[in-house]
Amino acid sequence: MKTKWRIMGLITLALFISLLALPRPSLADAGQNPAMVSIGEVNGSAGDVVDVPVKIGEITKGVAAYGVEIHFDKDYLKVVGINPNHGNTTETGCTEDNEGCFWSNFSNEDGFLRAAWADPDAGDHPITKDTDLFTIQVEVLKTDFIGEKKFTIPSNDVEALSFVDVSGKTLSVEVNPGKIQVVKAEDKGQDQGNEPDKDQVPPTPTDKADDSVKVDKKDSKPGLLPKTWDDSYIDTYLNIAIGALAVLLVTLWMYKKRKEAVKN
């Protein structure tokens, strides 16, 4: 039985790799009322570590898998962590979790982060309502800059913004960019044309020191991507992960139907 599943997995993966060479429809052609991906807006001053939430709303069809790439200004901001609000990050536990599997990685050198999620249970537990997807922990670097720094998703790039439903079809998605309003330390909490994050708890000096040590050692969470991979390998890895999971949803659904037919 294990051999059978290994062969099925290899066939599925090979199928998806071949599909990468085919032209893909743009998001504007999906034909549904678009869902909205929103990145939070928060205040912070030099040296602060702030939490920036990423959410999805206005959902009309269940989301079975997604992948996003968010860009930021690496000269003024530094990502120190990505925490899922929906999804499990453990390789074995996520397949048994109704919230599905979540992966992420980031590069402060290149100024981007990537996050991907999928429901491994054949689309039985899609995202069907407004949901907090994940939270980005960002350090405001110590510079003299005062103003806003934006977080953006290239919405016209399928590889940077991909959402699929339970049948594997592309969903239409719009993006509401987020930002950090960088203010002077003495001005925090005042009106800067942007409401401060009321739920944010400033980190203690010990917390900030620990984060600095972790990021100096590596730019990404352990176990996600080999440090020696260049951008082309990272892009391929993310594409394969998202696409293969979407194809596997259909494969698992067909397997379940076949078992039901045998029982009957």
Tens-of-pLDDT digits for all 264 residues of the chain?
444 444 444 444 444 444 333 344 444 444 557 899 999 999 999 999 999 999 999 988 899 999 999 999 999 999 999 999 999 999 888 888 999 999 999 999 999 999 999 998 767 899 999 999 999 999 999 999 999 999 999 877 878 999 999 888 999 999 999 999 999 988 765 544 444 444 554 444 444 434 433 333 334 333 344 444 444 444 544 554 555 555 555 455 555 655 666 565
Task: State how far the Cα of 141 lies from the Cα of 137, in Å rounded to an integer.
Answer: 13
| pLDDT computed for residue 252 by the predictor | 58
Q: Is residue 62 within 8 Å of 165, Cβ to Cβ?
A: yes
pTM of this structure: 0.62
| E strand map for the chain | 35-39, 41-44, 49-57, 65-71, 77-84, 101-107, 112-118, 131-140, 147-151, 161-164, 173-176, 178-182
Distances (CA, A) of 61 to 37, 98, 121, 153, 168: 14, 18, 17, 21, 12
Q: Is residue 70 within 8 Å of 112, Cβ to Cβ?
A: yes
| pLDDT computed for residue 251 by the predictor | 54
Which amino acid makes up residue 245?
A: L
| pLDDT computed for residue 230 by the predictor | 45
| pLDDT computed for residue 10 by the predictor | 42
DSSP per position, 134-181:
EEEEEEEPSSS--EEEEEB--TT-TTTEEEE-TTSPBPPEEEE-EEEE
Task: State how far the Cα of 43 lies from the Cα of 189, in Å rounded to an integer.
Answer: 8
